[in-house]
Amino acid sequence: MIRTVIIDDEKNASELVVNMLEIYCSNVEVVGVADAVKSGYELLKELEPDLVFLDVQMGDGTGFDLLKHFDLIPFKVIFVTAYQEYAINAFRYSAIDYLLKPIAPDHLINAVEKAEKAIRSDDPALDLSVLLNNLSQLPQKKKKIVLKTTERMYVVNIDEITRCESDGSYTNIYLADGSRIMVSRLLKEFDELFSQDGFIRVHKSHLVNIEFLSFFKKTENSIVMKDESVVPVSTRKKEELIHWINQR
């Protein structure tokens, strides 16, 4: 069983999460509920749970304030929030799950499944440090992302990613220093994630950071990147790319 604590200053919200977990997640045991940063911290120290559902905004502070009390964070966190939409990518970049109020059952189930897989393999402190960095940078552009392989977890600056290339159900992430990281995530996810960060999908298998584009060979429908790699451009994306370049 996943020993779980819920921290939310709205009683109805806490009760809803408890009820939904009972209905949809039989592998979760709610061992405690708190309604503030102070009481939440004391409860976490006492119970040492595997998983915490944590509200972002509470009466005596934020969920981030609570987490800063820990030198090492030994539990996974799922944020339950009505946080501003512009901040949602900060959660996505850091590989930390979040649930938007009102909570959809399928989103809850998916978040718990991912938490269960990650509890024994991931480093929650690393995920949270990236999240806090990204939130502190909003609305600036200096953001980081956690990239996870079977053996390692990488923290990468978004502006150091030159391009992403699909490889079946995997994606190859190419960096400015010439290195490559292969992750078990679809290119579509990175397309959605980087849509506001200067990346453009030029082909069904290729997503490029426009800052690393050297030139576009219109007659050959291909891009040459600053590292001299060549990326094909689909006919459907050609006009969009030209328009994008003209707007720079």
Domain of residue 56, residue span: 2-137
19, 123: one domain? yes
- Of the chain, the percentage scoring pLDDT greater than 90 comes to 49
Residues 95 and 57 in one domain: yes
128 lies in the same domain as 194: no
Q: How far apart are CA 143 and CA 153, in angstroms?
A: 16
3-state secondary structure of 222: strand
Q: Mark whether 47 and 122 lie in a shared domain.
A: yes
Which among 26-30, 81-85, 240-244 has the top mean pLDDT? Answer: 26-30
Closest CA to 118 of 95, 88, 92, 93: 95
Q: What is the pLDDT of residues 98-145, one digit of tens each?
A: 888 889 999 999 899 988 887 766 655 556 666 666 565 545 556 788
What CATH number does residue 161 fall under? 2.40.50.1020
Same-domain check for residues 96 and 54: yes
What's at 243, amino acid-wise? Answer: H
Length of the chain: 248
Average pLDDT of span 92-103: 73
One domain for residues 128 and 6:
yes
Q: What's the pLDDT band for 208 if we cut at 50, 70, 90?
A: very high
In a domain, 39, yes or no: yes
User: Given this model, what pLDDT does residue 234 score?
Assistant: 93
Decide if 236 is inside a domain: yes
pLDDT digits (tens, 9 = 90+) for 228-247: 999 999 988 888 888 877 77
What pLDDT sits at residue 124?
A: 58
Of 92, 110, 137, the residue at which a domain comes to its end is: 137
- Assess if residue 71 is contained within a domain: yes
Give which of 28, 21, 69 is closest to 51, Cα–Cα. Answer: 28
Confidence tier at 174 by pLDDT (50, 70, 90):
very high
Residue 37 maps to which CATH number?
A: 3.40.50.2300
User: For residue 86, what pLDDT is reported?
Assistant: 46
C-alpha 123/C-alpha 72 separation (Å) is: 10
CA-CA distances (angstroms) from residue 25 to 67, 74, 209? Answer: 25, 22, 40
**How many domains does the chain fold into?**
2
Question: Which H, E and C letters describe the chain, residue by residue?
Answer: CEEEEEECCCHHHHHHHHHHHHHHCCCEEEEEEECCHHHHHHHHHHHCCCEEEEECEECCEEHHHHHCCCCCCCCEEEEEECCCHHHHHHHHHCCCEEEECCCCHHHHHHHHHHHHHHCCCCCHHHHHHHHHHHHHHCCCCCCEEEEECCCCEEEEEHHHEEEEEEECCEEEEEECCCCEEEECCCHHHHHHHCCCCCEEEEECCEEEEHHHEEEEECCCCEEEECCCCEEECCHHHHHHHHHHHHHC
Closest by Cα among 184, 175, 178, 138 to 157: 175
| pLDDT tier for residue 97 given thresholds of 50, 70 and 90 | confident
Q: Which residue has the higher pLDDT, 244 or 209?
A: 209
Does one domain contain both 129 and 219?
A: no
What is the largest distance, in Å, between two alpha-carbon atoms of the chain?
Answer: 67
Residue 171 confidence (pLDDT) above 90: yes
Query: Would the pTM of this model clear 0.85, i.e. be above it?
Result: no
Residue corresponding to tokens 């708190």:
34
User: Tokens 């200053």 map to which residue?
Assistant: 9
**Together in a domain, 16 and 117:** yes
Residue 149 inside a domain? The answer is no
Pair (160, 49) in one structural domain: no
